[in-house]
Structure 1
């Protein structure tokens, strides 16, 4: 096996910045008790002004009074690590997020599908950049070695065990991610590298540092198997954005909505599934307001889902300030993409009918979009009805077999003017409507006029002439 480790050096900060409308503003994460508040992480703008991790809050305010402060949330950091584990699951079936700030995935099995390691690595970096997370990546035959190398040198890759052992032997013990404080203690004892450490007697190391250090070294070098906690994706999606201020307009909610929908689309691609119903929850200081979003078929395109969610959101009334936006999707059915021809003649800017239908329903409302359904009435003016686009197809009565009907049916029959037409086919006798007071008895013909047009005309039963025009054929 070959394991890729993705180290996320500023996971908590990146999770906040990716949801800020202006991430270039100076921003810092704060932590600690009220009397000893300090900075946990700062963005590039804050660092340029002199702020740094570990600085006390009063000193930070003295240097940069208008810095944006965000409370560090360890639970949110864990949720984002699980989200990235779910993202990594789309590239490998063996993913682990057991170490804070790091994701490991088995990469060799994906080479045949995604290409050799340089191509695979470039794909991982491109997607992480699009998601907004800074990262360091390394490849090694064991997951712990990949984790160590990612912390030392971004982009380092070793594929053979002998080369891995040689590289590990030069790693400083303080950078080897040893259990507890073993790295610092060994350094004070004069043990500088892993090569020197492995040459020491194991009995003495066990007495001084316990069996955890020996087990870590064995798993690091691949001498024993490393039982990782394998990630399994959940069967629902639940994400929340806490707004920095009270929002009272739809426009201000579009940025966090786009982020949430983008994360939903990423999650759906991981599961190779779609979503048919999800919920937008507008949270207020007290209570919340739900905006349901429903589709007629499962979809997972981020652009389409955002358009539908925006249409539904703009129809909802915001009667109280919104302090947080939440997206919940509990029904995640399988996704079956629409089939397309290899040489599709459709223009590049054309929108497929399912997407256009959903956009119209989101913009105009569910009751504004209909389709035509046949009825069993033989009278042409009563032969169809408006049906809802979400009406079950089994409930729609199919049209009985009939002779050809014109594509253009006139609202009301009118006399056919001009010379007598030539009869092409007919008659077709229709007798119906006696039960509803609209008794109709007609003989229909397909005729050709003097101008070469094909028309659908009728006359009283058994008669010809005095034609009444009812439609035109294309």
Structure 2
């Protein structure tokens, strides 16, 4: 087995930057007690302005007053960590997020699907860049070794298990990711590398540092199995973006909505499933002046599809149209997306040599876009009724209505493509009868009895008309439709 470790050195900062529209603006995360606020992390623009992690907040304000300051939220870090674990689950069935700031996945079983390690590594990096997370990646025969190598050199790959021990022996003790800060203590004792540590008596190490250090070494070198806490994707999607300011327009909500929908699409791909219904929750917070408290409420925007989908662009178009139809009566301070109905996803069947133009859209996607933009009742299909009278032979049926419940259309001679709403007299000379008559006699049960002889007529200009006359009165034509 070969394990890949993805280290996320700026997870907290990247989790915040994903919700920021202008990533080039100086931004810093702030942590610490109210009396001693310090900078935890800064983006590239803030670093160019002179801000550094560990700097006092007062000094940072004096140095770059225009920088945006955000409080560090450990729960947001945990949500981002879980999201990346779900993303990694797309590439391997063995994924672990048990170490902070790192994702470990078994890679060798995925080579047959994604290609050899260089191709899989390039794919991981492209997707992480698209998601907005800085990263370091390494490959090794054990997960702990991969974690160590990712911290030492980005892109390092070691697939030979026999070379694992000699390579690890050269790792500096302070950079070996030992538990409980044991690396710093050992360095102060004069131990410089893992090789020197392994040459010490194990009994002495156990008495001084405890059994966990010895277990860590055995798992690091592959001497003992490493039981990881493997990630299992949840059975629902629930993600939230805190806006940090009050929003009163639909346009300002599109950027965070797009991020949530893209995350939903990533989550669906990990489950190899789709979504048929989800909720966009607009969170409000209004100050009640008489009580002096902030009242929280929310507005739910329901998004429903006729079939399960997982295409990010389609879901975003539908969500945007549904959101634009909703009224925002109160300022929005947070956006949340919940999806609990996650049925299996069945891709549309395609021919091997598909000649469909590149700009053409499959009917299911076009149907959903039209419903979202025009309304649920604006898109319908035509269903037969079984009534022989042409003006009553069809009805408008819902798209989601079961076609099996409809009466089958009886076999009749061809009908015109263009059927007039009401028959009109056809007063034209030179008409030629192409076919007919077809006798239609019906409607006695609803006091709208009709008795007609229908003919297909050809005009001198070559047009084909569908007209009828009362029995025995051929020539007194009533036009009812035109053939294409």
TM-score (norm 2): 0.95
| Structure 1 residues 378-424: Cα deviation after superposition (integer angstroms, max 9, x where no partner) | 10011111222233334433322222212121222233444554444
Root-mean-square deviation over aligned CA pairs: 1.5
| Structure 1 residues 93-136: Cα deviation after superposition (integer angstroms, max 9, x where no partner) | 00000000000000000001101100100000000000000000
Q: How does 1:380-419 map to 2 (within 5 A)?
A: 380-419=390-429
Q: Residue 195 in 1 paired to residue 195 in 2?
A: yes
Corresponding residue for residue 30 of structure 1: 30
> How far apart are 1:449 and its partner, in Å?
3.9
Corresponding residue for residue 263 of structure 2: 263
> How far apart are 1:38 and its partner, in Å?
1.4
Which stretch shows the higher mean deviation, 173-182 or 356-365? Answer: 356-365
Corresponding residue for residue 295 of structure 1: 305
What is the distance in 2 between the residues matched to 1:49 and 1:469? 80
| Structure 1 residues 138-157: Cα deviation after superposition (integer angstroms, max 9, x where no partner) | 00000000000000000000
Corresponding residue for residue 234 of structure 1: 234
Which stretch shows the higher mean deviation, 139-148 or 357-366? Answer: 357-366
Corresponding residue for residue 100 of structure 1: 100
| Structure 1 residues 65-101: Cα deviation after superposition (integer angstroms, max 9, x where no partner) | 2221111111111111110000000000000000000
Q: How does 1:208-223 map to 2 (within 5 A)?
A: 208-223=208-223
Which stretch shows the higher mean deviation, 246-255 or 51-60? Answer: 51-60
Unaligned runs of 5+ in 1: none
What is the distance in 1 between the residues matched to 2:107 and 2:64? 44
What is the distance in 2 between the residues matched to 1:407 and 1:288? 49
Q: How does 1:439-458 map to 2 (within 5 A)?
A: 439-458=449-468
Which stretch shows the higher mean deviation, 288-297 or 423-432? Answer: 423-432
What is the distance in 1 between the residues matched to 2:428 and 2:46? 85
Q: Residue 140 in 1 paired to residue 157 in 2?
A: no
> How far apart are 1:367 and its partner, in Å?
2.2
Q: Secondary structure at the match of 2:128?
A: helix
Q: Residue 16 in 1 paired to residue 16 in 2?
A: yes
| Structure 1 residues 9-64: Cα deviation after superposition (integer angstroms, max 9, x where no partner) | 01010000011011111111111211121111111111122221122212222222
Q: Secondary structure at the match of 1:337?
A: coil
Corresponding residue for residue 172 of structure 1: 172
Corresponding residue for residue 473 of structure 1: 483
What is the distance in 1 between the residues matched to 2:318 and 2:332? 20
| Structure 1 residues 188-244: Cα deviation after superposition (integer angstroms, max 9, x where no partner) | 111100111112211111111111111000000000110000000011111111012
What is the distance in 1 between the residues matched to 2:461 and 2:26? 77
Unaligned runs of 5+ in 2: 286-295
What is the distance in 2 between the residues matched to 1:469 and 1:375? 23
Corresponding residue for residue 288 of structure 2: none
What is the distance in 2 between the residues matched to 1:452 and 1:318? 58
Q: Secondary structure at the match of 1:36?
A: coil
Q: Residue 433 in 1 paired to residue 443 in 2?
A: yes
What is the distance in 2 between the residues matched to 1:450 and 1:184? 101
What is the distance in 2 between the residues matched to 1:293 and 1:398? 33
Q: Secondary structure at the match of 1:435?
A: helix
> How far apart are 1:443 and its partner, in Å?
1.7
What is the distance in 2 between the residues matched to 1:220 and 1:437? 89
TM-score (norm 1): 0.97
